[in-house]
Amino acid sequence: MNLQKSFTERVLQAVGFELLAVMICTPLLAWIMDKPLFDMGVATVAIAALALAWNVVFNGVFDRALKRWSIARTPWVRAVHALFFEGGLVALGVPLVAWWLEISLWQAFLLDIGVLLFFLPYTYLYHWGYDVMRERLLSKTAVH
């Protein structure tokens, strides 16, 4: 599997990840928290922007580490990737959510844990699917 991704490709991968997540989470969280769709939409987009930057940086570092230590992308490595990615996002996002939704840090943390239950499998599946589609496109390009 070709792990070399350009900065542009990393940004596009992260944008796709965040756009799909916003489309799923905004209406779902507005309904669950009984908050206006607009308020939840702003919070979701702000977290997505934060996560977008985190995604590009984290995935770049993670891929370099895999390459440096010759580690294959096994299911366990993908699980570690998802855990570290989401753990870092929790630390960055909880204060922002608490401030915007005017809830305590504890409430924001609990909300984030709930969201994490969605994002752990979503992160795993999105990046696996991206890698599979990318490899197929690269193999088709190499044949032509």
pLDDT tens, residue order, the chain (144 aa) = 566 888 899 889 988 998 888 998 999 989 988 889 998 999 889 888 888 888 888 999 999 999 999 999 999 999 999 999 988 888 889 998 899 888 899 989 998 888 888 888 999 999 999 999 999 988 887 776
| Residue 139, pLDDT score | 87
| Residue 2, pLDDT score | 60
Q: How many domains does the chain have?
A: 1
The answer to the question of residue 106 being in a domain is yes
Sign of the alpha-carbon dihedral angle for 116, 122, 128, 134: negative
Residue ranges making up the domain that contains 65:
7-143
The answer to the question of residue 18 being in a domain is yes
The answer to the question of residue 104 being in a domain is yes
Reference 82, options 50, 128, 44, 113; nearest CA is: 128
The answer to the question of residue 2 being in a domain is no
| Residue 7, pLDDT score | 87
Yes or no: say if 123 and 85 are a contact pair by the CB < 8 Å rule.
yes
Yes or no: say if 96 and 141 are a contact pair by the CB < 8 Å rule.
no
The answer to the question of residue 1 being in a domain is no
| Residue 144, pLDDT score | 64
| Residue 52, pLDDT score | 81
